[in-house]
Chain A
């Protein structure tokens, strides 16, 4: 029996969809059966980031309306057999989708998958309510900006009323030098303000944009900072205890030696 996780943020543009795609990919890399559900009806783009746009035939609204079977709407990933996507509708009437509809979809999917990741639309209106309805757990994505943290706080307050097992935090787009200079909120400050457990941190990385552009989630790449961050998150979701990655830039062999010897 799988576990459903909603990925949400309140504010738009903080990286919900990218996070969903990459956590999904990273879980699939660990041989887990994963289904991604895009609930952003009318503004779908999870499929684009995964590079699966051309393979969509049916979508979530078709399934809810009973136009097609659930299995027929699932798009298989081009890299993994164990990663599937249930795409959002691009044009249909979004009022067709109800919390009950999503809930029953998720229940149908649970026996066949280890993880069901629900990509939530921005905002706290109907779309958010739909996405949260089917979830056992929640992951809140924020960036180290005040506006984004404020909205994350709002969302966490709303999630508290939802009877979820747990709510975890992902801090996205961290810029080390701006945090150091005090022009961005520090990780500790964000965690203390939001007072929920931190699931992981993702460095701001051009590779993320490059990867999305080519429809290949960054989590595939072996050694970029962002991909390591996403893979660490996946391992923590699986129950491993992975230390938070260090933000320090590699400064060469000498520094590593010094650290090793305890001189720094």
Chain B
């Protein structure tokens, strides 16, 4: 079912109605058109729709305006705003969140490393050092310090190291620390949150692809 007006195109899909807004006219014209359409009651009330703005980028206040018009005046919910375009700022933050940040150095006691995205350290993380990433942390060296992956809420992120003997591992909001007695570290391990127990567990690096098959898949990053 497709219904076309001057500036509005409505499509019924299995996921519900999507309203495509023309991206060449002015925003005021759009609002007016929307208003007219709603007055004529072409859309049944109390439904939820998706709004697709095509090649137009809406400000927050413009989104609020449309939401206000639909929601408050006609009690139509908006599931989401979609668009073919994003702002540079948003693109940069996506990029930032998705790229691997390499470091060729030893992270020493008292040093702190904070990054968006994944961190790849070629070197050791010494006791007393802290590494924090929004993504996963990979250490090609000895991990003896504190690593926080998935900061603040990436529960699917992991911490992997060639030699694992950390003082603390944190993933999202979970924390696991080394026991009070001396322990020998282990070679090639990774830490992850076990969904069933919601606790941090360690496993052999070979099992990483079994446990997190989509680790490097960007669509898994909730974008």
Q: Which A residues are within 8 Å of any B CB, using their own CB? A: 150-151, 153-154, 156-158, 160, 192-193, 195
B110 close to A (CB within 8 Å): yes
Residue of A nearest to B107 (CB): A157
* A151 surroundings in chain B (CB, below 8 A): 109
Residues of B within 8 A of A192 (CB): 142
Interchain CB contact under 8 A, B124 and A195:
yes
Contacts of B154 in A (CB 8 A): none
Contact surface of B with A, Cβ cutoff 8 Å: 105-106, 108-111, 123-124, 126-128, 142, 144
- Once A and B bind, how many residue pairs between them come within 8 Å at the CB atom? 30
Main secondary structure of the interface of B (DSSP, over half): loop
CB distance from B165 to the nearest CB of A (A): 11
With A151-B109, A157-B110 already in contact, the answer to whether A193 and B128 are too (CB < 8 A) is no
A151, B109: Cα distance in complex, Å: 7
- Determine the distance from Cα of A150 to Cα of B167 in the docked complex, in whole angstroms: 13
Which of A153, A156, A160, A193: most chain B Cβ within 10 A?
Answer: A153
On whether the beta carbons of B124 and A150 are closer than 8 Å, the reply is no
Q: When chains A and B are docked, how far (Å) is the Cα of A160 from the Cα of B127? A: 17
**Residues of chain B contacted by A193 (CB below 8 angstroms):** 124, 126-127, 144
B106 and A150 within 8 A (CB): no
How many angstroms between the C-alpha atoms of A192 and B127 in the bound complex? 13
Q: Pick the residue among B105, B109, B123, B142 that contacts A153 (CB under 8 A).
A: B109
Say yes or no: B124 contacts A154, CB within 8 Å: no
Q: Is the CB of A154 within 8 A of B110?
A: yes
Residue among A158, A192, A193 with the highest chain B CB neighbour number at 10 A: A193
Pull 27 A–B residue pairs with CB atoms less than 8 Å apart, ordered by A: A150-B109, A150-B127, A150-B128, A151-B109, A153-B108, A153-B109, A153-B110, A153-B126, A153-B127, A153-B128, A154-B108, A154-B109, A154-B110, A156-B108, A157-B108, A157-B109, A157-B110, A157-B111, A158-B110, A160-B105, A160-B108, A193-B124, A193-B126, A193-B127, A193-B144, A195-B106, A195-B123
Instruction: Determine how close the nearest CB of chain B comes to the CB of A198; give it in whole angstroms.
Output: 15
**Distance in Å from the Cβ of B166 to the closest Cβ of chain A?**
14
In the assembly, what is the distance between CA of A137 and CA of B110, in Å?
A: 22
Which of B108, B126, B144 counts the most chain A CB atoms within 10 A? B108
Q: Residues of B contacting A158 with CB < 8 Å?
A: 110
**In this complex, what residue of A is CB-closest to B127?**
A150
Q: Which residues of B contact A160 (CB under 8 A)?
A: 105, 108
> How near does chain B come to A202, taking the closest CB pair, in angstroms?
23
Kindly state the separation between the CA atoms of A195 and B126 in the bound complex, as whole angstroms. Answer: 10
Instruction: Report the Cα distance A153→B106, complex, angstroms.
Output: 10
Given A156-B108, A157-B110, output 19 extra A-B contacts at Cβ < 8 Å.
Answer: A150-B109, A150-B128, A151-B109, A153-B108, A153-B109, A153-B110, A153-B127, A154-B109, A154-B110, A154-B128, A157-B109, A160-B105, A160-B108, A193-B126, A193-B127, A193-B144, A195-B106, A195-B123, A195-B124
